Amino acid sequence: MTPIVYVHPRAFETMIRASIERFKKECLGHIFGREYKKPRPYFIITDASPLQSVKTKNQEVEASKRSDLRLRDFFSRMPTHARPIGYFHSHTEYGNVAFSAEMSEHDKEDMMREKSKLEFIIAISSRKRGVVPWNQQPEGNIKGSFSGARYNYNLDIHAYIPASEEDAPSAVRIKIVAPRAVEEFNRALKYRT
């Protein structure tokens, strides 16, 4: 059975905020929560924290080596419930190149190397006009837009777990469930659903 991931509104908002703040460059951060095996495999994400010391290239982001070592030391001394279970990062438009929330080969390799249990990818692009209310999509992702006084964005959030294939790094997309977060975003932005 494919797992489901439940996302608390605060964690959802943090991932969206980090993606908007770094727009045109990718963001990267930790996700915190729990993994449960029964009655069906699922995750509950309670918090997210963007990383501040990151190196970005055109369409790539990674934690700086020094800050990564400091955080690994910090988390190794924390109780299990206070350690990250995975990462989130954004995929942003670059010139005329379309954005996508699909995992790249580099993303899959990083997921395997880091032994991440869960990854979120937030695809973000600029929006010319109008709004799209936040909604759960039939494929399991969540889409919506942010329209502010000056800046407008389309966002598409997907979640992945590592696949159990030994030959090459691979990932399986899983369903995101965040009804309170979707409701809060639509209400705050005055979107009608």
Residues 6+ apart with CB under 8 A from 20: 124, 146, 151, 153
- pLDDT tens per residue, range 82-139: 788 999 999 998 777 767 899 988 889 889 888 899 999 999 998 888 899 999 999 9
Please report the beta strands in the chain, taking only residues with DSSP state E, as ranges in sequence order.
Answer: 4-7, 28-36, 42-50, 54-57, 60-63, 84-92, 118-126, 135-136, 142-147, 152-162, 171-177
For tokens 């790249």, the residue is: 104
38-47, 135-144, 151-160: lowest mean pLDDT where?
A: 38-47
85 in Cβ contact with 34 (< 8 Å)? yes
Give this prediction's pTM. 0.89
Task: Give pLDDT, residue 60.
Answer: 65
- pLDDT tens per residue, range 24-63: 888 899 999 999 988 888 999 999 999 876 666 656 666 6
129 or 21, which is more confident: 21
Domain coordinates of the chain in residue numbers?
A: 4-188
Task: Give pLDDT, residue 57.
Answer: 60
CATH number among 3.40.140.10, 3.40.120.10, 1.20.950.20, 3.60.70.12, domain 4-188: 3.40.140.10
